[in-house]
Amino acid sequence: MDLIHLGPLDLGLAAALVLMLAALSLYLGLGVERRLLLAALRSLIQLGLLGLVLKTLFAQTHPLPIFALTGVMLAVAAWEVRARQRHRFRGPWGIGIGALSMFVSSFSVTLLALVVVIRPTPWYAPQYLIPFLGMLLGNTMSGIAIGLESLTRQACDLRPVLEDRLALGHPWQQVIAPLRREAMRAGLIPIINAMSVAGVVSLPGMMTGQILAGSPPMEAAKYQLLILFLIAAGTGFGAAAALWVASRRLFDGRERLRLDRLDGV
Amino acid sequence: MATPAELRLEGLQVGRLEPVDLRLGPGITTLHGPSGSGKTLFLRALADLEPHAGRAWLDGREQAALPAHLWRRRVMLVPAEAHWWGERVGDHFARRDDRLLEALGLPVAAWGWSPARLSSGERQRLALARALVLEPRALLLDEPTANLDAHSRERLEDLVQDYRTARNAIVLWVSHDPEQRARLGGTQLALRPSGQGFALHVEAA
């Protein structure tokens, strides 16, 4: 397999494009230059560090540092879900709902893929575990963040209707069901769209990467399919778990709507 | 005929309202008090829509012992301003009772109306109707005639009187209008300033 190595100049060229985009944003007054540069800088530092960490990690097979890294990834993802909410749940729930649902979905789907499908030895071999978990966490994170945002925003907007339905004696599950359906739909749309256009319009990131790194296209396609299906399952189950816990948390034991449990209401 | 309804409160406390001990029997009881005195909050606590202290019983069954939605089916709040979620008025009704619409002065065609096109008076009458078809034992009305002309107001008052007589039910009616309170009869309750908050007083029986 021929691997074409990227030099500093190649990356510098791509980075220059981002700088030009930031300059354009400044010139046109679009106001995104700061966020764009900050995000680019973050990705530079984070991916550089990850490269270093993985290099060290791949060189050994002690499980402890590997699991520690997965823990850090989960914590950052949970923090990111919380950061994307306008109406956050107060207290530990704000981070707990995202962390719990991502743990349940991403970790179990990764475990399933590794133990049943890929079967590396040992099963936690970091060359497989870390990339798989990363792809799953990244995607379930978006699905869960969108779903939660949709649920809490609707609950705030529709508060008078929800209160009226409760007053008429409708059980809380019945009152929240249409909101939860809509939130679930919103959370799943990105992955449904991704699957619909995969290979026709877009060449998904992982497949592109593998082909660029010299893998045969058919092998790359099979891996990409595996990843897409796992992401769909992980996102769906993760969003379902998060929305179930979150909608339960919107009501108390006496089925009262408790928007006071959200920030910024 | 249904057995007489009984709603009993012991130390019920919500917001700035001092703890309330009260027994309500079948018939209309009115409630008034300055704005901000917590009338709506009190009604919401009775329907268990608002966190509160103290205990409440309906026909000997304690509030905390019933699932909240079943309590609210029996002790039903009709808010001052009702909201609608379905496409048609009829979607909001557990049962379509044409005679009820007629009693409120609305045509049977109203079932098919879009809630967005209702006048405030129509909304208010339909909000009462969607509660009445569920046949609650206690009806908590928060200024139910605020947006009605004299004729519609009279019809609604008659309808509620008929309902409470036929069902032996409790009606707690928030009204700012002394004439209306006198017309409705029964016990008059008032919220009056007391210390830092408000206290419930029985004014006239």
Statement: residue B9 has pLDDT above 70: yes
* Closest approach of B48 to chain A, Cα-based (Å): 7
Q: Which two tokens stand for residue A126?
A: 């970091």
DSSP-assigned letter for residue B2: P
At residue B50, does pLDDT exceed 80? yes
**Which run of H or of E encompasses A265?**
none
Instruction: Indicate yes or no: CB of A167 within 8 angstroms of CB of B50.
Output: no
- B156 pLDDT exceeds 80? yes
Summarize the confidence of residues A238-265 as an average pLDDT. Answer: 95
Nearest CA in chain B to A255: B68
Q: Are A132 and A176 in contact (CB under 8 A)?
A: no
pLDDT-derived band at B205, boundaries 50, 70, 90: low
Amino acid letter at A104?
V
A253 CA to chain B: closest CA distance, Å? 8
Say what percent of chain A tops pLDDT 90. Answer: 71
Chain A interface test: which of B55, B71, B85 (most A C-beta within 10 Å): B85
Kindly report the average pLDDT of chain A as a whole number.
92
**Cβ distance of B69 and A171 shorter than 8 Å:** yes
Among the listed residues B61, B82, B81, B84, the one whose alpha carbon sits nearest the alpha carbon of residue B71: B61
* The pLDDT of residue A58: 85
Q: How far is A96 from chain B (nearest CA, A)?
A: 25
CB of B132 closer than 8 Å to CB of B158: no
Residue A212 above 50 pLDDT?
yes
Higher-pLDDT residue of A219, B19: B19
In tens, the pLDDT along A33-42 reads: 999 999 999 9
CB B43 within 8 A of CB B77: yes
Q: Determine the distance in angstroms separating the CA of A178 from the nearest CA of chain B, rounded to an integer.
A: 11
In angstroms, what CA-CA distances link A96 with A100, A188, A241, A255, B5?
6, 21, 12, 22, 45
Give the C-alpha separation, B7 to B152, whole Å: 29
Q: How open is the CA angle A180-A182-A188, to the nearest 5 degrees?
A: 100
Q: Cα(A265)–Cα(A179) distance, rounded to whole angstroms?
A: 18
Contact assignment for A169 to B73 by CB distance below 8 Å: yes
d(CA B190, CA B173): 11
| Residue B108 pLDDT greater than 80, yes or no | yes
Residue B74 pLDDT greater than 80, yes or no: yes
Query: What does the pLDDT average to over B132-160?
Result: 96
Nearest to A136 by CA among A236, A243, A242, A244: A236
**Which residue, among A122, A63, A61, A251, has the nearest Cα to A174 in the 3D structure?**
A251
Please confirm whether the linkage preceding A120 is cis (ω < 30° from 0): no
Determine whether domain B7-83+136-204 maps to CATH 3.20.20.80.
Answer: no
Please provide the average confidence, as pLDDT, over all residues in chain B. 95
Q: How confident is the model at residue A102 (pLDDT cuts 50, 70, 90)?
A: very high
Average pLDDT, stretch A201-216? Answer: 82
Which positions in chain B touch A260 (Cβ < 8 Å)?
A: none
**CA of B153 vs chain A CAs: smallest distance (Å):** 22
Return the pLDDT at A131.
87
Q: Which whole number is the average pLDDT over B138-149? A: 95
Residue A3 pLDDT: 66
User: How far is B148 from B183, CA to CA, in rounded Å?
Assistant: 16
Of A164, A252, A253, the CB nearest to B79: A164
Nearest CA among B48, B137, B130, B40 for reference residue B83: B130
Distance separating alpha carbons of residues B56 and B5, to the nearest angstrom:
13
Average pLDDT over residues A109-117: 92
Counting every residue written for chain B, the total comes to 205
Q: What is the pLDDT of residues A157-188, one digit of tens each?
A: 999 999 999 999 999 999 999 999 999 999 99
Amino acid identity, residue B180? Q
Predicted local distance difference test score (pLDDT) of residue B99: 95
* Position A62 confidence tier, pLDDT thresholds 50, 70, 90: confident
Q: Do A168 and B85 touch (CB under 8 A)?
A: no
Burial of B39 (0-12, 13-18, 19+ CB in 10 A): buried
Q: Are the C-beta atoms of residues B175 and B160 closer than 8 Å to each other?
A: no
- Closest partner CB to B49 (pick from A161, A171, A256): A256
pLDDT tens, position by position, B164-192 = 999 999 999 999 999 999 999 999 999 99
Q: Give chain B positions within 8 Å (CB) of A256.
A: 48-51, 68
Say whether pLDDT at B134 is over 60.
Answer: yes
Question: 10 Å Cβ neighbour count for B41?
Answer: 18
d(CA A10, CA A68): 33
Domain ranges for chain B, please list them: 7-83+136-204
> How confident is the model at residue A1, as a pLDDT?
47
- Per-residue pLDDT, B1: 63
pLDDT for residue A213 is more than 90: no
pLDDT mean over B28-56: 96
How far apart CA A72 and CA A229 sit, in angstroms, is: 25
Handedness of CA B51, B57, B59, B60 (dihedral sign): positive
Mutual orientation of helices A172-197 and A126-157 as an angle, nearest 10°?
A: 130
Distance CA A209, CA A224 (A): 10
Cis amide prior to A122 (ω within 30 degrees): yes
The per-residue pLDDT for range B78-87, each reduced to its tens digit, is 999 999 999 9
Say which of A164, A170, A252 has its CB closest to residue B69.
A170
Q: Kindly give the residue spans of alpha helices, DSSP state H, lying in chain A.
A: 8-28, 33-58, 63-83, 93-102, 108-112, 126-157, 159-167, 172-197, 205-212, 217-249
Nearest-by-CA chain A residue for B50: A256
Q: How many CB atoms lie within 10 A of CB B148?
A: 20
CB A224: neighbour CB atoms within 10 A? Answer: 22
